[in-house]
Amino acid sequence: MTNSLTLTAEQHAVLQKYLFPGDGLESAAILICRFCGPFNERLIVSQIINVPDDMCTQRTPKFISWPGGCIENAIDQAEQNGDAIILAHSHPGGMFAFSKIDNESDACTMPALFSAIGANGFLHGSAIMIPNGSMKARIYQNDGTNRPILHITKIGHDISDISVATPQQVMAFGSAMTKWLSEQTACVIGVSGTGSIVAELLARKGVGHLILIDFDTVEEKNLNRIVNSTTFDARQNRSKVAMMAEAIGKYSPSTKITSIHASLNDRDAVVAASAADILFSCVDSVSGRSVAELICQSCLIPLIDLGVTIPTRVDQKGDPQIADICGRIDFVRPDGPSLSDRLVVTPEGLRREYLLLHAPEAAEQEIEAGYIKGVHEEAPSVMALNMRAASDAVMEWLARQFCYRHDANACYARTIFSLSGGEVDYDSEHVRIPGSSGH
């Protein structure tokens, strides 16, 4: 069941500009929307078509007459992929409800949309926006019945629910946050060192739906850094997602778990991840991060990517020493600078991983493996470090929704902590290359 509509802050600004030109009269626009998730759980805005005011035969503060040519143009674009069409218009007076005129208009227009784009399972709808940017939307079945879209989310530096007339700041860590978490779907990609801890934190905070994606199994060597794992799991060579799902069911039975025992390159994994409200990338590979950022961009899902590292140096005696103990947390907006723009994902890194997989002999001199760079450790004792990074990552998500920081979230695109230096640094996006994916 489609229960949400998502658009970026930039898309929202464009739509608001179209709908409120400043003359106090109703204006209109058309949203071309795509379905995401295995059950079409999410509807995302992929394109906004302006309905020029001078093409409308009548515009008043409470009424607008649309030109049929604009809707025909939208149908031509939407039917290529079976997309949904949402007809949007403004209520300059601030009425946060569909009027009788709106209902009558939909009763005439919706049958024509379904007739033009009649793919089974696809829906169309209508939406209104009031001057402060809040929106109300509904979707129709092809039998003419409709139901409201419960959540309309605007994703920018903040993550905002704009489906209420007067958005109010909700206090973090109270009952309102608990209720909100119970309605959220979070996807954890990589359920190992940091990922198992992120999943644990999310489940114990009461997230309603957890999607766990990992292709690997539990081994003896990683029991010291995967929460809930046991020697039985290692001996049985159990998948990490199955182990974690079983454990979560014992202490958070109300959390729905979707376990995907596959690589993120797998189609089922991508489709499952596209249903999420937030992505946590907890993988070691550059290729995994590359796919995660593509899902972020293509499905309009904010991404939090995290990693830890312990670089080493060689002292005067030739013995290895710890140079630093570091963690990194990146918050990525769907239409903001990506992990590639931030040089987390690089062509060189992808090349090294490809060589390691397909030409290990050639890669031997190019790859440095393990948590501790320069020193290989089969079972590094890094649980405490992983916990620090995982906790910061979960708190980053909450900060974007509840805005409890003293400074604006735009200042916190990246967080880097150094335990050796006792420092925490924050970067904003302006220090990086702005990106535009075009997906």
**pLDDT tens track for 157-214:** 999 999 998 877 778 888 889 999 999 999 999 999 999 999 999 999 999 999 999 9
For residue 143, name the pLDDT band (cuts at 50, 70, 90). Answer: confident
Q: Which residue has the tokens 């949007």?
A: 88
- Tokens for 342, please give them: 């931030």
For residue 3, the model assigns a pLDDT of 85
Mean pLDDT computed over 278-284? 96
Which is nearest to 105 in space by CA: 87, 131, 130, 83?
Answer: 87
Which residues 6+ apart lie within 8 Å of 332 measured at CB?
293, 296, 302, 303, 304, 305, 338, 339
Structural domain 175-431, CATH architecture: 3-Layer(aba) Sandwich (3.40)
Contact 127, 136 (CB under 8 A): yes
Cα distance between residue 402 and residue 380, in whole Å: 35
Q: Which of 187-201, 224-238, 242-256, 420-434 has the lowest mean pLDDT?
A: 420-434
For residue 67, the model assigns a pLDDT of 80
Range(s) within the chain of domains with CATH label 3.40.140.10: 4-161
Range(s) within the chain of domains with CATH label 3.40.50.720: 175-431
Tell me the average pLDDT of the chain. 89
Higher pLDDT, 376 or 293: 293
For residue 320, the model assigns a pLDDT of 83
- Flag whether pLDDT at 121 surpasses 70: no
Q: Which of 116-120, 144-148, 390-394 has the lowest mean pLDDT?
A: 116-120
- Flag whether pLDDT at 343 surpasses 60: yes
Mean pLDDT computed over 110-122? 74
Q: How far is CA 292 from the centre of its chain?
A: 9
Cα distance between residue 167 and residue 303, in whole Å: 24
- Flag whether pLDDT at 362 surpasses 70: no
For residue 373, the model assigns a pLDDT of 47
Which residues 6+ apart lie within 8 Å of 43 measured at CB?
2, 4, 5, 6, 33, 34, 35, 36, 84, 86, 139, 149
Cα distance between residue 185 and residue 52, in whole Å: 37
- Flag whether pLDDT at 5 surpasses 90: yes
For residue 315, the model assigns a pLDDT of 83
Q: Distance from first CA to last CA of the chain, Å, rounded?
A: 25
For residue 316, the model assigns a pLDDT of 86
Cα distance between residue 185 and residue 208, in whole Å: 6
Contact 392, 327 (CB under 8 A): yes
Using CA atoms, how far residue 285 sits from 317, 345, 354, 407, 409, in Å, is 33, 9, 11, 32, 27
Cα distance between residue 178 and residue 169, in whole Å: 15
Q: Which residue has the tokens 């403004």?
A: 90
- Flag whether pLDDT at 1 surpasses 90: no
Which residues 6+ apart lie within 8 Å of 301 measured at CB?
6, 187, 273, 274, 276, 277, 278, 279, 295, 334
List the 151-155 sheet strands across, edge first: 146-148, 135-140, 124-129, 84-90, 28-36, 42-51, 4-8, 151-155, 159-161
Cα distance between residue 214 and residue 224, in whole Å: 18
Q: Which of 180-184, 258-262, 275-279, 320-324 has the lowest mean pLDDT?
A: 320-324
**pLDDT tens track for 69-86:** 888 888 888 888 888 999
Mean pLDDT computed over 406-430? 92
Q: How far is CA 140 from the centre of its chain?
A: 26
- Tokens for 33, please give them: 């929307």
| Largest interatomic CA distance in the chain | 85
**pLDDT tens track for 229-240:** 999 999 999 999
For residue 157, the model assigns a pLDDT of 96
- Tokens for 175, please give them: 């009952």
For residue 430, the model assigns a pLDDT of 66
Contact 249, 188 (CB under 8 A): no
For residue 115, the model assigns a pLDDT of 83
- Flag whether pLDDT at 436 surpasses 80: no
- Flag whether pLDDT at 433 surpasses 80: no
Cα distance between residue 362 and residue 137, in whole Å: 56
Higher pLDDT, 402 or 314: 402
For residue 274, the model assigns a pLDDT of 97
The topology under which CATH files domain 4-161 is Cytidine Deaminase; domain 2 (3.40.140)
- Flag whether pLDDT at 371 surpasses 50: no
